[in-house]
Every structure is written in C-alpha cells, then in structure tokens.
Amino acid sequence: MRRAIPRIALPVTARPCCRTVCRPTPTTTTTPRHFSTAVPKKADIPIQEVLRRKIWGSEEAPGAPGMPPPAPQIPMVEEPTKEEAEREGYIEESDGRALPVVGLAPGLTEWDVQTFANVTRPPSTEAIHAAMHRAVVEVYTHALNGKPVDTPAVEGSVAEEGFTPRVRIEVRQNGEAVFHYGDTSVEGEVLKLSTGVEGEVVEEGAMGEWLQEGLDGKGWVELGFRGDDIKFAVYKRVYRLTGIRVADPDLNRTKTVADLLTHLVAKPRPTKLFDILITETDLPTLPNVKIVGQRVRPWDRERVIGREQPFEKVVGHTYPFEEARR
Amino acid sequence: MPVSALRAVSKSQNGVGAFILQCKRMEFNFCDWAGSSKGMRHDRSFLKHSLSQFARQNPQIEIIVAPRPNKIPIIRGTYINGREKVIPVDGLEIQQILQKAQLLRNSSGTKLKRITRPVISLNESVRGIFSPFHGKKHVI
C-alpha cells in the first residue's frame, strides 16, 4: 500500500541516542577542513636547485639554476698604481718573508706569478748550447770590464739577440781564454745586455762553427770557470734562459763549461734492459756472458752451430729461372 | 788353474778424478714490459746486480741474457746429455731467482726420479742377497 504522505525523517535530536546516531552526519554544503603543523613545501623550486643550495650551504648558491658554476679567475700579482707609489710614506706591504702580499679573491685557487725562469718547453740540445754560449759571453764580458757578474742573470732579457753569437771564444792550451768580439760595438751591446734591432739575423756560418765545436766537446766548451762566482753567474743565466735546474752537488763538482753541459744535456735513461745492461753493468766484460738485444728464435740457434743452411747452398741446386737470368 | 784377471771396464765416476759440471749453458729470458719480470729487470734486479757475481763464480757455464717479449721470465738450463730444464721465475724476487739459478746449476740433465731406497750404490751388497736355503736353519 502506498502512503499518501511521504515519511518525514525525524531530526537527529529526536532520534533515540545510540552510537551510530550521535555521530554528526556530514552535509553536502560544508567543505573539508585540514589542520597541520608542517611548513608548506615550495612547489615552484625544482629538486636540483634544492640540492644545489643544500650542497652550497646557503640560499645564495653561485651560478644560475641549472648552469655550471663560473670558472675561477686567475689572479694577477697586483702592482702598486702610480698614485700609490708616488704617495708619501708609501711602503709596499710585505709578509714575514719580505715578499709582497697579493690580494686573493674568494673562490680562486691558481696563481699567475712570473717566476725567474718561465720556460715551458724543454729546449733542444742546440738551444742549450746556444744559451750556454750566450751566458758565458755575457758573464765573462762583464767580468773583463770590471762589472758585477750577476748582472746578466738579473737584468738580462730572455729575448733572442744577435750579438753574442758573433763572439768567438778561443781556449788555449795553457787554459787562457780569448774572446774575439770582432767589433767594439758588439762588446758594448753585450755589456748593455741589449737584444739588438728587431729582425736582425745572425750569420749562420759564425754560429755554426762554435755550435758544432760545442756539440763535439771541443773548443769553447773546454773553458774552465775562473771562480765560483763566475760559475754560479753563468749557471744562473743559463737557468733563466733554459729553465733547466742542476743539482747543487753536480754544480759544485763542475769545473768547465763541458761539465755543466753534461748536466744540462742529460741523455734520457734507457728504457730497454738490454741498453741498461750494456751501459751500467760489467756483464759485457765477462767472457762467458752474452747479452742479446732481440728475441732468440729457434732457428738462430741452428744457424749459430751451422746446422741450418739454405737448401740451395747445401745441395748446390739452382732454379731454372736463375739459370735463365744467367 | 792359472788365475786370470777379470776384464772390467772402468766405470766413470764424475768427481772421483775430475769433476765436470753437467750444466753447460743457462739462458735468462725476460720481458721488457710485463710486470712478472720485475725481479729480473727492475732496479735492484737479479740481472743487474746478482748475475755478474753468479757468472764469475761459474765460468764454465755459458750465460745468455735475451728478451722474450710477452712471455713470463724463465731460466733455461742446457746440460751435457742434451736435455734442457726450464724454470719459470715470474713474480719472484732476487734471492728466489738466484736460488733457482743455483738449482739448475747443481742438477744434472737426467729426469727427475722418485727415490725409494735410502742408499744408492754401485757396489754389490756386502752380505749377499737373502736366500732361505743358506744360513742358520730355523727350528720349529
């Protein structure tokens, strides 16, 4: 049977109180409510940037997000400006080692300091001989004119010049050395440590003579150092020109230019054991020792005892095409 | 009956009169590149420091030093009987290599045999070989 009047739901309060009824029923008009104590996340910052800041340790990490950090700039030694140098009472700041203090920008690791010898590539044997000749001429020229022998090493330039190659050094049997300048202007230019006119070319013949003599170990390389001051002045100048250092004990033992050259033009140590055994051991002098440089093949042994010989020599056979050629 | 002498061939015994070293040649092979040849070729190595003294002490041995690329270092001993003995010395130190060289020098070219008897002699047994029919009879 249908009811004419629909059943009306009784209000909540009118209903008998029970567990299921006391719970308030949600209505469609109210919105859900959330309550939380956590800090809301910044959804606009990518995870890569978050990690970058975390690694750097602060919010202001260098470089743009996603880009590599900027390359560190190489610092240069700051020289005082004209105004600073001309200021009265200006004293350049120096540390305990009497070296100038250079400012260091943050994040920079490399220094670009001009050293005494700025030679990056190892020079060739001829270049070393040429540098030695130049150093000897300059130092001895200063010594002969009563000037400090250290001057070429301290004030001399490393640029190429065309005056010292023209000087010929003659070493006599009694140990005397004679410097033939050829022209008084050359001696003057050497004293001034001038590098000459740009583009000036040295005569090849003049340089080739003493260069070849030096490579053969004769002539000017037999020049003995007159004193320790000259020896060290020559080595200092050679070091500035070539960048090659010689150990102190070796330097103390050198007596002549040739001795110093042996330390500058040192031969590379042999890599093969065969070369080492030949040069550094007394095995080649022993009568029962034989050192071979190549692999001993099986047929080498046969040939040494004379067992293996070419077939043609043993039998005396000749091929038809050999007969035709004859 | 007249007593006649027994014809006997003299038995050669090396060392009774003159001693002849059995090892006539020793060949030392190494590799210039491989690390197993370190004891043979590096600084303070056998070939550079110990071989000269070994060669002087044994002038009757012909010593050959030759490279053997891409192979392990070996010592090859050649003997009078024509046989060869090869000992690998890869990874060994100087003293160990020297011991191997001395081992080759002290040995002969014969093959290695397992020795079962405590005494090896060319002389016959003094008391004879056992026979059950000779000697004191056993009484039961």
> How much of chain B, in percent, has pLDDT values that exceed 70?
98
Q: Are A77 and A113 in contact (CB under 8 A)?
A: yes
Tokens 């059995």: give the residue: B22
Using alpha carbons, list the distances in angstroms from residue A48 to A39, A57, A223.
20, 14, 70
Tokens 């031969």: give the residue: A267
**Strand extents, DSSP E, chain A:** 168-171, 177-180, 289-291
- Residue A179 pairs in a beta bridge with A169
pLDDT of residue A205: 58
Q: Exposure of A74 by Cβ count < 10 A (0-12 exposed, 13-18 middle, 19+ buried)?
A: exposed
- Give yes or no for residue A14 having a pLDDT over 50: no
Structure tokens at B96: 């160990």
Chain centroid offset of residue A257 CA? 27
Task: Chain B: give the shortest CA distance to residue A284, in Å.
Answer: 10
Task: Chain A: give the shortest CA distance to residue B51, in Å.
Answer: 8
In a domain, A168, yes or no: yes
* Residues B104-110, mean pLDDT to the nearest whole number: 95
In a domain, A67, yes or no: no
B27 to A295: CB separation less than 8 angstroms, yes or no: no
Name residue A20's amino acid.
T
pLDDT of residue A18: 43
Q: A286 and A160, same structural domain?
A: no
> How much of chain A, in percent, has pLDDT values that exceed 90?
22
- What b/e string do you get for A191-203 counting C-beta neighbours within 10 Å, with b at 16 or more? bebebeeeeeebe
| φ, ψ of residue B86 in degrees (nearest 5) | -120, 130
| pTM to 2 decimal places | 0.49
Range of the domain at A145: 125-265
Q: How far is it, in rounded angstroms, from Cα B110 to Cα B66? A: 26
Structural domains in chain B, CATH included, are 23-106 (3.40.30.10)
Q: A260 and A130, same structural domain?
A: yes
Looking at per-residue pLDDT, the higher value among A120 and B58 belongs to B58
B41 to A273: CB separation less than 8 angstroms, yes or no: yes
Chain centroid offset of residue A4 CA? 107
Q: Out of B47, B60, B64, whose CB is closest to A290?
A: B64
Q: Out of B58, B60, B69, whose CB is closest to A295?
A: B69
Q: A214 and A244, same structural domain?
A: yes
Q: A244 and A139, same structural domain?
A: yes
The number of folded domains in chain A is 2
Instruction: Please count the residues of chain A.
Output: 326
Q: A140 and A156, same structural domain?
A: yes
Q: A304 and A248, same structural domain?
A: no
Instruction: Please count the residues of chain B.
Output: 140
In a domain, A2, yes or no: no
Q: A131 and A252, same structural domain?
A: yes
> How much of chain B, in percent, has pLDDT values that exceed 90?
59
Indicate left, alpha or beta for A182 from its phi (over 0: left) and psi (-120 to 50: alpha).
Answer: left
Q: A155 and A187, same structural domain?
A: yes
Note whether A273 contacts B: Cβ–Cβ < 8 A.
yes
Please tell me whether residue A170 adopts helix, strand or coil conformation: strand
Closest CA to B103 of B7, B26, B5: B26
In a domain, A105, yes or no: no
Q: A176 and A139, same structural domain?
A: yes
- Give yes or no for residue A216 having a pLDDT over 90: no
Q: A259 and A193, same structural domain?
A: yes
CB atoms within 10 A of CB A256: 16
**A305 DSSP assignment:** T
Looking at per-residue pLDDT, the higher value among B119 and A307 belongs to B119
A289 to B67: CB separation less than 8 angstroms, yes or no: no
A281 to chain B: which residues are within 8 Å by CB?
A: 48, 52
Q: A254 and A135, same structural domain?
A: yes
Looking at per-residue pLDDT, the higher value among A226 and B112 belongs to B112
In a domain, A38, yes or no: no
In a domain, A87, yes or no: no
Mutate one of B52, B76, B84 to test the A interface: name it (highest A CB count within 10 A): B52
* ipTM score of complex: 0.83
Closest CA to A192 of A225, A161, A227: A161
Q: Are A245 and A120 in contact (CB under 8 A)?
A: no
pLDDT tens-digit map of A261-288:
999 987 777 888 999 899 889 999 999 9
Q: Out of A280, A282, A292, whose CB is closest to B65?
A: A292
Structure tokens at A325: 């050629």
Closest CA to B61 of B104, B111, B15: B104
Task: Chain B: give the shortest CA distance to residue A106, in Å.
Answer: 46
In a domain, A165, yes or no: yes
* Cα dihedral value A229, A235, A238, A239, nearest 10: -120
Q: How far is it, in rounded angstroms, from Cα A252 to Cα B16? A: 62
- Give yes or no for residue A204 having a pLDDT over 60: no
Q: Exposure of B23 by Cβ count < 10 A (0-12 exposed, 13-18 middle, 19+ buried)?
A: buried
Q: How far is it, in rounded angstroms, from Cα A49 to Cα A62? A: 11
pLDDT tens-digit map of B36-66:
888 888 766 899 999 999 999 999 999 999 9
Q: Which of A232, A265, A298 is the last residue of a domain?
A: A265
pLDDT tens-digit map of A57-115:
877 766 666 666 666 666 566 677 788 777 777 776 666 676 766 665 555 556 666 77
Task: Chain B: give the shortest CA distance to residue A273, in Å.
Answer: 6
In a domain, A5, yes or no: no
Structure tokens at B26: 């020793």
**Strand extents, DSSP E, B8-47:** 23-30
Q: A277 and A261, same structural domain?
A: no
pLDDT of residue B63: 97
